[in-house]
Structure 1
Amino acid sequence: MYRYDCDLHCHTVRSDGNDTPQEFIDKAAECGMKVVAITDHDIEPPIYISVDNKKISTVDYAASKGIELVLGYEFSCDTYVDDVHILGYKLDWNNPLVKEEVEREKESKINAYRDLCKLLTENGISIDYEKDVLQYVDEDGSIKYRKKEDVQRKHIFEAIAKKGYTSTWQEAKLLVRDNPKLNIKRRKIDPFDAIKLIKDCGGTAVLAHPFLIDEIIKYPDGRSYTRDEYINRLIEHGLDGIEARYTYSKTSYKGNLSREEIENYVNEHYKGKVKFFTGGSDYHDDEKKGVKNPRYIGEAGISYEEFNKIREYFI
């Protein structure tokens, strides 16, 4: 399988990934990656990790493995539109704005995901918040427990699939998002506010997986936008870049275009409107959970030459 040298969109156990930050870096090194990014959902990245009972900079640990580590944050945006995710890189992670947003997101998720499990059960999909979501079995067969603030919607989708209501977590995601009775709208940051927060903290704002956004977007108040109109509004509010290369065939993408066709469209349609284009696999190490067709580090990304042209926005 071809791997890009640089993968700017990856997850760890700090959100809904399955590798610890150290495991992720070690695996990236084994793959021969040159640059990788940790971009967990709605939480600041791990500045330090514990190695042999010693506190060490995560960036320094990656460097010791021959890897440049980019620290990022994937902001879940827009209460009424699914899959609007803004990747923030190179922020001042100690800025109070970041800390406040992390705390707000924690409370929003705890309430919404508990309610979602209750609603699913009431509609014939029995998902117990405590037993099926907070409790889980790791790859070694050991029973573990998540903190409430660590629960992601993907954990609920995985529980739905595990109990046989759907074949995959992707199918579970579509089952929930396309049913108005089930698709609970948790309060998310406005994407314009996310871009402003990123910029106010000295960072770079990149739109993740643009084609996971619906082709036609409708708001409860009657407003309607095409996907292009929506993205252009993000650009007008200061978006720096767009993720052009992405693993659409391994996600909940509902369209018919190939990932190459999407990449070409994004490059042609938004050339000159944003500063650059990026790529990322959205790696979670789902293989640990036996997910069919999992994503791999570097499966989507950019070349080292491409990265060096935009390095100033990430390092």
Structure 2
Amino acid sequence: MTIKNPNYKFDLHCHTTRSDGRDTPKELIDHAVEVGMKAIAITDHDIIPPKTIISNHKECDIIEYAKRKGLKLIKGYEFSTDTMVEDVHILGYNLNWESEDIKQEIKAARKSKTKAYRLLCKRLSEKGMPIDFKEDILKYTDKNNNELMRKENDVEKKFIFEKMAEKGFVSSWKKAKIMIKNDSYFNIKRKKIDPVKAIKLIHENDGIAVLAHPYLINKKVYNEKFGELNRINYIEKLIENGLDGIEARYTYNKTSYKGNKTVKEIEKEIINLYSDRLLISGGSDYHGGQKIGVKNYRYIGEAGINFDRFNKLFT
């Protein structure tokens, strides 16, 4: 089912098959055009955005392909940051993708993830939830029922959550995420880039640094540099260190958000707190969940921003 007439025409948080999404970059663009989007951002984890796609058996520039269809495409990257604090993700837009520093960060992040996710599968298996890293995670079936193997460094944590749900250990990937997050034995602290360093890296490479889904950060956290503080003060520290923007509208109702505020209440609160100091962004965090039978999946344009806020970000 395709959701048309999206809530927002500008969605700056979308994923593809290059990380943990289910649409190829071309499919994402075509899907966005079909539902009437004006602009989207590809913000995959730990991989540089694609320069080109194949259309009608010919290679073409991905931004030009989108432009010909009436869509503005923004290239981005989602940094998972802060080893000690969950869900501190910083979106970097329009970076210098040829930068060796960016490439080295991607390499380090992938290495760290592979080690942690192997260990997570082992610990789940030890506790009566057998997940074999090779057979269950590396091996997968594509939409044409071809059995394929993904590279170790291409594994995303969500693949493990989805497999846990598929095997019936939990009722959904969201329940799996919460279970892992709240159990210290399973919540393996892989090495992540420091958020201040991520902001600096983004700025050094001509980009814009935006904090994704801020209310997925716990109300009280501990950071090795900042110490113990609440979510609001944590975000203030990021602002002090150069954060450019923050997601106000996000699909919290379809994630592991543990609070009791509605999506609209969070949006209003963020705008009241930060709109005079930060650029306001938003996005659905679309992953193409409908392709694997997710009932309450996030759709393109479900969350995002309007034209004026988009122009403030990218002009």
The normalised TM-score by structure 2 is 0.95
Partners of 2:230 and 2:312 lie apart in 1 by 31
Matched residue type, 1:302: I
Partners of 1:221 and 1:205 lie apart in 2 by 20
Partners of 1:145 and 1:61 lie apart in 2 by 29
Give matches, 1:205-220, under 5 Å: 205-219=209-223
Compared CA separation, residues 221 and 165, structure 1 to 2 (3 A): farther
Contact 1:139 1:289 in 2 (8 A): no
Q: What secondary structure, in the 3-state scheme, does the structure 2 residue paired with 1:284 have? A: coil
Unaligned 5+ segments in structure 1 are none
Aligned length: 311
User: What residue number does 2:234 align with?
Assistant: 230
Compared CA separation, residues 222 and 303, structure 1 to 2 (3 A): closer
User: What residue number does 2:195 align with?
Assistant: 191
Mapped pair 1:293 → 2:262: no
Partners of 2:251 and 2:224 lie apart in 1 by 30
Q: What secondary structure, in the 3-state scheme, does the structure 2 residue paired with 1:8 have? A: strand
Corresponding residue to 1:101 among 91, 101, 105: 105
User: What residue number does 1:144 align with?
Assistant: 148
Matched residue type, 2:289: D
Compared CA separation, residues 305 and 269, structure 1 to 2 (3 A): closer
Partners of 1:205 and 1:307 lie apart in 2 by 14
Corresponding residue to 2:307 among 288, 298, 304: 304
Partners of 2:305 and 2:49 lie apart in 1 by 21
Partners of 1:222 and 1:123 lie apart in 2 by 35
Q: 1:22-56: CA deviations, max 9, x gaps?
A: 01000001011110000001221112222233221
Partners of 1:294 and 1:145 lie apart in 2 by 25
Contact 2:83 2:194 in 1 (8 A): yes
Give matches, 1:11-30, under 5 Å: 11-30=15-34
The normalised TM-score by structure 1 is 0.95
Offset of residue 136 of structure 1: 1.8
Q: What secondary structure, in the 3-state scheme, does the structure 2 residue paired with 1:126 have? A: coil
Q: What secondary structure, in the 3-state scheme, does the structure 2 residue paired with 1:9 have? A: strand
Mapped pair 1:279 → 2:285: no
Contact 1:71 1:90 in 2 (8 A): yes
Offset of residue 220 of structure 1: 7.6
Q: Could you tell me the percent identity over the aligned residues?
A: 52
Greater CA deviation, 106-115 or 135-144? Answer: 135-144
Contact 2:6 2:37 in 1 (8 A): no
Unaligned 5+ segments in structure 2 are none
User: What residue number does 1:166 align with?
Assistant: 170
Contact 1:11 1:40 in 2 (8 A): yes
Offset of residue 141 of structure 1: 3.4
Offset of residue 221 of structure 1: 9.6
Q: 1:52-82: CA deviations, max 9, x gaps?
A: 3322111011111110100000000011111
Offset of residue 145 of structure 1: 1.9
Contact 1:134 1:151 in 2 (8 A): yes
Partners of 1:144 and 1:98 lie apart in 2 by 29
Contact 1:86 1:207 in 2 (8 A): yes
Offset of residue 143 of structure 1: 2.3
Partners of 1:175 and 1:220 lie apart in 2 by 24
Partners of 2:35 and 2:226 lie apart in 1 by 48
Partners of 1:244 and 1:67 lie apart in 2 by 23
Compute the RMSD of aligned alpha carbons: 1.5
